[in-house]
Amino acid sequence: MKHSYPRLFLVGCPRSGTTLLQSLLAAHSQIASFPESHFFRYLLRNRSSWRTKLRIPSPLSRKRFNQFLAETGHPELERYLPKTAVFTFQYVKGFIRVLDELTLQQGKTLWLEKTPGNLYYINYIEKRVAGAKFIHLVRNGADVVSSLYDVTHQYPNDWKGAWDLDRCIRQWVKDVRLTTQHLHKPNHILVQYEQLIENQPLILAQLCDFIGVEYEPAMLQDYQKVAEKLTLAFESWKVSVQQGIYNPSDQKFHQLFNEEQKQYILQELSEANLEFSNKLSKYSKEQGTGNREQKEKEL
């Protein structure tokens, strides 16, 4: 695969619409994508201090690597991670080669990896993956809290238990603050879920420009079929992506919670909302300045 193409990572808080955006982008004729890999989480988490110091991966890394290959239907690509591999950089190299190979097999030129939790490993990925670009998706905090609360209570076994309100709130606050730490970098772009829903062609065109490909209107027609291939059998909570684009707005927020709970959620989110608003304003101004400078150069 030509390395002049970027390697794309879509990140954000869970339940922010990342599966929808992944499906839309993967409907592009040049962009391949896959089920969530959780590769970097298994590679880097829960390592003892000596493993971290020696750059040795978590003991579960190889098992997860092989599981991902099985989920994509290509266990034969295990050859890209030699039995002799003992260091984290060898695992990363093998993983990237697998994604490159899967992309070639699909007849496409670049890939999009969508594991929302890669947000926590951006600094590591930037050091280890050539041409990495990051798409951050942020959704209204109250809507995300509602969705997290709902899905973890409906599918507690798949989410390691039902989350209480405070955990849902903490997750969104932490993830949005992490996103804002990277927005000054030229290889990062922010997408607001609400804007995507309101004007899909415009947002997708902006993303295609960031990626370096031409926008294709067919992306909006084919994404539902693509979503079926990106969702694993047990991920029942993602099935709504296959049913079309719609904006439920704050319906779930009002359906799930009583007035006291709603007030509590909004109060707990208020500080982070203000921080994000200020960072977003600065980001928007910088983007506007950057676009003007680019146009002046082109002229």
Burial class (CB in 10 A: 0-12, 13-18, 19+), 244: exposed
Q: What is the C-alpha to C-alpha distance for residues 100 and 95, in angstroms, rounded to an integer?
A: 9
Is residue 204 domain-resident?
yes
Q: How many domains does the chain have?
A: 1
How far apart are the C-alpha atoms of 18 and 114, rounded to whole Å? Answer: 7
Please state, in angstroms and rounded to a whole number, the distance separating the CA atoms of residues 191 and 280. 11
pLDDT digits (tens, 9 = 90+) for 46-86: 667 777 778 888 888 999 999 999 999 999 999 999 888 88
Residues of the chain where predicted confidence (pLDDT) is lower than 70: 1-4, 46-47, 232-250, 288-299
β partners of residue 31: 110
State residue 248's pLDDT score.
60
Distance, CA of 21 to CA of 223 (rounded, Å): 9
Q: Which helix (H) or strand (E) holds 55?
A: none
CATH number where 145 lies: 3.40.50.300
pTM: 0.90
Helix (H) / strand (E) element for 111: namely: strand 110-114
Alpha-carbon span 97 to 64, nearest angstrom: 16
User: Is residue 42 included in any domain, yes or no?
Assistant: no
β-pairing verdict for 7-12 and 110-114 = parallel
- Given this model, what pLDDT does residue 295 score? 39
Is 11 within 8 Å of 207 (Cβ atoms)?
Answer: no
Confidence (pLDDT) at 30: 97
**Residue 72 belongs to some domain of the structure:** no
Per-residue confidence (pLDDT) for residue 4, from 0 to 100: 65
Burial 260-285 (b: 16+ CB within 10 A, else e): eebeebeebbeebbeebeebbeebee
Tell me what pLDDT residue 51 has.
79
Residue 247's closest CA among 197, 199, 193, 204? 197
SS3 state at 117:
helix
Give me the domain span that covers residue 273. 7-30+109-298
- Report if residue 97 sits inside a domain: no
Do the beta carbons of residue 104 and residue 1 sit within 8 Å?
A: yes
- Residue 35, in any domain of the structure: no
Task: Region of 115 please: left (phi>0), alpha (psi -120 to 50) or beta.
Answer: beta
Residue 83 burial by Cβ neighbours in a 10 Å radius (0-12, 13-18, 19+): exposed
CA distance 80 to 44: 19
Question: Residue 33: is it exposed, middle or buried by C-beta count within 10 angstroms (0-12/13-18/19+)?
Answer: buried
Q: Which two tokens stand for residue 229?
A: 């291939």
Q: Are 77 and 69 contacting, i.e. CB atoms less than 8 angstroms apart?
A: yes
| Segment holding 189, helix H or strand E | strand 188-192
Q: Is residue 291 part of a domain?
A: yes
In this prediction, residue 296 carries a pLDDT of 39
